[in-house]
Amino acid sequence: MPKHIPLRSCIACRETKPKRELVRVVHTAEGPVEVDRTGKKNGRGAYFCPAQECWELGQKKRALNHVFKAAVTPENWDELLRYARETLPEKKVPTRVPATAARRVKGAKTRGTATSPAAQVAAREG
């Protein structure tokens, strides 16, 4: 059984996903909205899918303005979108990847998630 997984929704497409699969941005006390790579920065946070399309959609919808109740400047958006364009794929990738097609993620550590296949034993005695 999986442990409780914190879920957040992307402020652009509203899809709910595990928090760790989303990219957090944080509204700092100083004003600008920054990408929070550690997920631990102080401030009001919002989440985007790790895909450029959601960041661009978020800009179009002025989604951050709603979340932060503050106007995000075009310059600030430029920075956020630059981050997205440099580090994120253009389109969303499906969360669930078939085991056979599982791609290795560059730089990501392989985690020990060996789960034994649920052996269904139909033991019948008769």
Site of interaction with Zn ion (CB under 5 A):
10, 12-13, 49, 54
**Would you mind telling me the total number of residues written for the chain in this entry?**
126
Within 10 A of 9 (CB to CB), how many other CB atoms are there?
15
Q: Which residues pair with 119 in a beta bridge?
A: none
CB of 93 to Zn ion, least distance (A): 12
Give dist(CA 34, CA 99) in Å, integer: 34
Smallest distance from Zn ion to CB 92, Å = 7
Tokens at 122, concatenated: 């139909």
Question: Measured from the CB atom, is 12 or 72 closer to Zn ion?
Answer: 12
CA 16: distance to chain centroid?
Answer: 9
Q: How far is the CB of 69 from Zn ion (least distance, A)?
A: 21
Residue (49 or 67) nearer to Zn ion, CB: 49
- Comparing CB distances to Zn ion, the nearer of 16 and 42 is 16
